[in-house]
Amino acid sequence: MLLREVGNMYSRRNVSFCLILILCISTVACASLFGNYGRIESSDEVTQAFEGYQVNPQYLYYVSGPHINPSAIMGLDRDYHLDPSSLWREVDMTPAVLREIVRGMMAQVLGKHTGLYGFNILDDNGRPIGVWYSILKARTFVQIKSDGTIRIDTPPLDLYETRGMNPFGSAT
């Protein structure tokens, strides 16, 4: 009887050890899969910069969507390179061009009960690498690829074509 209890105790320890080992391996695997992703954080300062038509000379600017009323504007630090397979179009940005683009975007959201917002683009270490301007509904992700290029997907082309948007940019 005692031998059987000792055997069960070792069996439970082995199962516990295996479960902990699997959990550790899973955690390491997930960290390596998602470790090279940055994020986008809301910023009133970035919103004010876009709406004040301020162009940062350290950034290369890109737009997504129609030429006149794009879905989003992105400025990426010149030290970083955008994935060449992306659908972003580079724009030779000046305050006058930025004014025209921002006003076109504002015309798109007029009457749709939503607004435009600025965001900081951060790398996988939380360092700022660019800026983004769009409605909240325009979601994306920031991936730092192994060759050092940055992948930031464009928002959907039909971003403004939804019915009944609430103030946060999602359909009602």
DSSP state string for 116-147: -EEEEEE-TTS-EEEEEEE-TT----EEE-TT
Residue 165 lies in a domain: no
Residue 162 lies in a domain: no
Q: Which residues neighbour 153 within 8 Å (Cβ) at sequence distance 6 or greater?
A: 86, 140, 141
Residue % of the chain over a pLDDT of 90: 48
Domains in the chain, number: 2
Domain with 20, as residue range(s), is: 1-34
Together in a domain, 48 and 74 = yes
Compute the C-alpha angle 146/136/73, nearest 5°.
60
Residue 128 lies in a domain: yes
CA distance linking residue 20 with residue 109, whole number of Å: 51
pLDDT of residue 161: 66
Compute the C-alpha angle 155/161/162, nearest 5°.
95
Residue 168 lies in a domain: no
Residue 86 lies in a domain: yes
Residue 110 lies in a domain: yes
35 versus 138: which is more confidently predicted? 138
Together in a domain, 55 and 101 = yes
Together in a domain, 45 and 19 = no
- Give yes or no for a contact between 37 and 144, defined as CB atoms under 8 angstroms apart: yes
Together in a domain, 99 and 68 = yes
Tokens standing for 17? 């050890």
How does pLDDT run across 98-119, given as a tens digit for each residue?
Answer: 999 999 999 888 877 789 999 9
How does pLDDT run across 50-88, given as a tens digit for each residue?
Answer: 999 999 999 999 999 887 788 999 999 999 999 998 899
